[in-house]
Structure 1
Amino acid sequence: MSTDSIYVTPEHELLRDQVAKFIAREVEPHAAAWEEAGCVPRDVLRRMGDAGLFGLMYESQYGGAESDALTNLVFAEALSQSTFAGFIITVLVHTDMASPHLHHAGNAAQKDKYLSRVIKGELITAVGITEPGAGSDVAGIRTTAKRDGDEWVLNGTKMFITNGVHANLYFVAAKTGSGKRDMSMFIVEKGTPGFSVGRALKKTGWLSSDTAELVLDNVRIPAANLLGEEGKGFYSVMKNFQTERIALAAMAVGHCQRALQLTLDYVRQRQAFGGVLWEQQTIRQRLSMLDAKTRAARQFMYHCAWRVTQGHDIVQDVSMLKALTGELVNEVVQTCQQFHGGMGYIRETAIERLWRDARVLAIGGGATEVMLEEVAKRY
């Protein structure tokens, strides 16, 4: 299946090849064991950092490549050719969902202290926004931060935090005033007194991704750990959602591509009803239509990333993209699983793993219904 995009350059192809080789060498032979262990080994992430893959859009003075959003998308899509989504999301949370808060809002002292180590993979990051009573409704968070002299005191609980168990550095949203959107972002280091993992969460998919409930019980951090302007955290979160949602779209499109290729390979050799399954017209036509939808979604995804490079307001487009790809990946993967028959329901097969892992892409990072409301209110 050809999936070339007009936005992809020879330099992008080199990056894609680098990521593919890393996955083939470092991930695919070992990731089944990571699924059992429930996390990705930190030394693997450190090797990704050493390879220059953790700072594509960050400043060169800290070891970044100062690339653009298209390059970052190529990386996310290439990463998503792995069939182990727990590994993929572990990386993408670090590169596209957590550390961008430091990149966008951090001051010079904060970047000097942390950013080069984040880019090297010495510090793995997580972002603490979601709470038991506040998921897509970011303004509904109840964690508080109160100023006490030269410190901030944080109290609250965060839920569904990817990298939550094993991260070293957390960017935490907390209310700093009485207004609905009056919140700020804070840097919290692992090991800070009062900051703990309440429990590791068991999930249906993304099994090699560690996910946690986090508890903040009178956590005292220096005033210097305020990230960005006080009271402006809501807008920082909203801004970063666009990067996050493009990355999740890339993950969805990557799953579609792999599921289709796995299924094409399978139905071309699977014998049934006196011949191979590929001879069944309905199978050929449904796979062809799903491939067409995937290619169309992919071009829209690249167009969104290109619009970022041009400085456009992309909230409506990215909300459309997130809703579209989150639903599409579930349609594609479920159909592909169906065409695998009983083998599609056997644990440890790639298509069964993709089926489990795809479901959350219509929920995480903004549920489909929330995304469509973001689209509708901008007409």
Structure 2
Amino acid sequence: MRRTLYGEDHDAFRASVREFVGRTVVPRQEEFAERRLIGREVWLEAGRQGLLGLEVPEEYGGGAAGDYRFNAVLIEELAAHSMALASSLAIHFDICAPYLVELTTDEQKKRWLPRFCSGELITAIGMTEPSGGSDLAALRTTAVRDGDDWIVNGSKTFITNGFQADLVIVAARTGQGKKGITLFAVEAGMPGFQRGRKLDKVGQPEADTSELFFENVRVPSANVIGEIDGGFVAMMERLPQERLGSAVTNVFHAAAVLEETLAYVKERRAFGQQIGSFQYNKFTLADLVTKIDVSTAFVDQCVAAHADGELTAVDAAKAKMWTAEVQNAVIDACVQLYGGYGYMREYRVARAWMDARVTRIWAGSNEIMREIVGRDLGL
């Protein structure tokens, strides 16, 4: 499908990202899966390539392209390789970056952003709690003022990059209701900040995901991000970008798997002919390609709208929900086309099938996305 979203600069950037993935990640893919994390050397190389500071001003070591389409290109290429690579790095450059660029003081920017861009400072965001799920307003982690500091107690779970993050943006309760939430930068080495085990997930083993525990962690006021009690609004304002990034990941992860499947069905033979030439399989593939093309067109429109500052929370919810459903349907059909081989971990399609399932849950479950869309309909 012909796309009009990108220009020559985006195409050149795409080529550099593809080269980075092929050189830095592909040769060590199995090692990262076994270690259940993406090695710091990848982060440092991404920093040297200028991939981590796309939204960061140049004075702090970033690129400050001012064009979200570069974020989207980077996410597309990472997702085409694996969901885990896209989710780990995008948490940093696409999700945490807006908090650290838009809500921080000049002193905080100088302290964190240069290392953020270089890959020396890996970041994560701590919203989800064991008992809360998608209900951010119900979080139980607390922060109580003690002089010039805050004492943080509580826990977070399912935190991508949590095991090796050097800085975690933690949402904690400082008052009552939605207005009583504040964001804190909790840094590695602070007494009382503990990481749990790397969680044993169904898919995406390369993405380190862990529990985080805070026991009387003393956080200085200099680490408050944004305004006191302004955390809920800050998160709501930035969730559309997170959901859009998730949508881009969903589409291009599925598209890459489908492309490999098309090549497979042209090579694999049964009953004396290519399995892709059987009418049922041909019709199935026609449906899958159409779903990807239609989804790409909508996501491209959302990316363009976001680049212009016009993406709505409702359209972001639609994009996230729809692409998660499409991705899972497409990859499940691809597994079927591979037959028994599709159920073998050594085949990428099997790993992709496991990797994709969580996308209907994270960034706000698809049920929550439907609630957002439904409310917009006046229901």
> How does the TM-score come out when normalised to structure 1?
0.97
- CA shift digits 1:228-282 (9 cap, x unpaired): 0011101111122111111111111111111111110100010112211021011
Deviates more, 1:84-93 or 1:167-176: 84-93
Map residues 213-362 of structure 1 onto 2, 5 A cutoff: 213-362=211-360
% same residue? 39
CA distance in 1 between counterparts of 2:97 and 2:210 reads: 18
For structure 1, list consecutive stretches of 5 or more residues without a partner in the other structure. Answer: none
CA distance in 2 between counterparts of 1:378 and 1:107 reads: 35
Match of 2:42 in 1: 44
Paired amino acid for 2:277: E
Is 1:89 the equivalent of 2:97?
no
- CA shift digits 1:46-95 (9 cap, x unpaired): 0001100001122111122222112211111122110x322221111111
Where 1:159 maps in the other structure, the secondary structure is: strand
Deviates more, 1:324-333 or 1:132-141: 132-141
Match of 1:63 in 2: 61
Determine if contact 1:70/1:302 at 8 Å carries over to the other structure: no
Where 1:170 maps in the other structure, the secondary structure is: strand
Determine if contact 1:35/1:86 at 8 Å carries over to the other structure: no
| TM-superposed deviation, 1:293 | 1.1
Determine if contact 1:52/1:64 at 8 Å carries over to the other structure: yes
- CA shift digits 1:319-373 (9 cap, x unpaired): 0000000111000000001100011011121111110101011111111110011
Where 1:173 maps in the other structure, the secondary structure is: strand
Match of 1:184 in 2: 182
Paired amino acid for 1:95: F
| TM-superposed deviation, 1:181 | 3.7
CA distance in 2 between counterparts of 1:308 and 1:251 reads: 16
Match of 2:141 in 1: 143
| TM-superposed deviation, 1:199 | 2.5
RMSD: 1.1
Is 1:112 the equivalent of 2:110?
yes
CA distance in 2 between counterparts of 1:183 and 1:116 reads: 27
| TM-superposed deviation, 1:313 | 4.7
Paired amino acid for 2:316: V
Deviates more, 1:160-169 or 1:67-76: 67-76
Match of 1:75 in 2: 74
Where 1:20 maps in the other structure, the secondary structure is: helix
| TM-superposed deviation, 1:309 | 2.4
| TM-superposed deviation, 1:283 | 0.9
CA distance in 2 between counterparts of 1:171 and 1:365 reads: 16
Paired amino acid for 2:79: S
Paired amino acid for 1:22: F
Where 2:306 maps in the other structure, the secondary structure is: helix
Determine if contact 2:178/2:232 at 8 Å carries over to the other structure: no
Determine if contact 1:73/1:302 at 8 Å carries over to the other structure: no
CA distance in 2 between counterparts of 1:99 and 1:161 reads: 16
Determine if contact 2:254/2:331 at 8 Å carries over to the other structure: yes
| TM-superposed deviation, 1:156 | 0.4
Determine if contact 2:36/2:198 at 8 Å carries over to the other structure: no
- CA shift digits 1:271-310 (9 cap, x unpaired): 1122110210111111111111111111211211211222
Where 2:263 maps in the other structure, the secondary structure is: helix
| TM-superposed deviation, 1:29 | 1.8
CA distance in 2 between counterparts of 1:356 and 1:135 reads: 21
Paired amino acid for 2:42: V
Where 1:268 maps in the other structure, the secondary structure is: helix
Match of 1:33 in 2: 31
Determine if contact 2:139/2:173 at 8 Å carries over to the other structure: yes
What is the count of residue pairs matched by the alignment? 376
Q: 1:33 to 1:4 in 2, by over 3 A?
A: farther
Determine if contact 1:99/1:126 at 8 Å carries over to the other structure: no
Where 1:357 maps in the other structure, the secondary structure is: helix
CA distance in 2 between counterparts of 1:112 and 1:101 reads: 14
